[in-house]
Amino acid sequence: MNRIKRFAAVAAATAVAALAPLTAAPAAQATTTANHPGLTWELLNYGAGYAVQVGGPGGTASDPYNGDTPAWNSLPVLCLNQDRRPAPPGIVIGFYNGWALGEVEISRPVKGTELTSPEAANTICRQQFGRNWRQAEFHDGHYGPNYSENGGWTFWANGNLPKNVRFWVNINDQAANPWD
């Protein structure tokens, strides 16, 4: 009788151990999918010297505090190559419209659920444009002497972006990214 009880106990423990990886998989799966609304921007203006202004103020749907676009949406990522180039003459630089010290492009559209971390977004930019590219961030606009100060809300960069296209943008000090 003791052998039967021991056999039953071992069989039950083996069954629980065998099922543990199956029950753990959905929890692990859930952490690899982003589901928080993310911050999005759009093209605001074209400027001198192949410059574009991107941002989200002035009546657009951008929300840098909570995110504004559900993660199931598929949008391009705003990518930045910050190569320290100077701003072209003819654009006004300040806190709300800084110079990003480089060039912007938009990636192929990706669902926000794929943006599970800043590195995941950066990888999309690097795969499409090269190793020096990353996702643009809300505070990438610089102004002041030698571009020593950071601003926010919009920035200028070199680029050629389409009108009426929203794109994912990172913000590093608020919970407004799909991975948050």
Which tens digit of pLDDT belongs to each residue from 45-87? 999 889 999 998 666 689 999 999 999 999 999 999 999 999 9
- The per-residue DSSP string of 13-56 comes to HHHHHHHHHHHHHHHHHHHTS--S-B-EEEEEEEETTTEEEEE-
Secondary structure of residue 112 in the 3-state scheme: helix
Which pLDDT value is given to residue 21?
Answer: 38
Whether 1 shows a pLDDT value over 80: the answer reads: no
Residue carrying the six token digits 């929203």: 166
Q: How far is CA 25 from CA 12, 15, 31, 73, 112, in A?
A: 21, 16, 10, 25, 22
Amino acid identity for residue 158 in this structure: N
Mean pLDDT of the chain, nearest integer = 85
Residue 76 contacts residue 165 (beta carbons within 8 Å): yes
> pTM for this one?
0.81
The predicted pLDDT at position 33 comes to 76
Residue 163's pLDDT is: 93
Model pLDDT, residue 101: 97
Phi, psi of 45 (to 5 degrees): -150, 155
Check residue 174 and give its pLDDT: 96
pLDDT at 57: 66
Q: How far is CA 139 from the centre of its chain?
A: 13
Helices (H), the chain: 2-31, 118-129
> Out of 20-34, 63-77, 124-138, which region has the weakest mean confidence (pLDDT)?
20-34
pLDDT for the residue 49? 86
- Residue 153 has a CB neighbour count (10 Å cut-off) of 18
Q: Strand, helix or coil at 60?
A: coil
Q: What is the mean pLDDT of residues 26-48?
A: 78
Q: Do 178 and 67 meet the contact criterion of CB atoms below 8 Å apart?
A: yes
Of residues 46 and 9, the one with the higher pLDDT is 46
Please say if the pLDDT value at position 26 is more than 50. no
Q: How confident is the model at residue 93 (pLDDT cuts 50, 70, 90)?
A: very high
Task: Note the pLDDT of residue 52.
Answer: 97
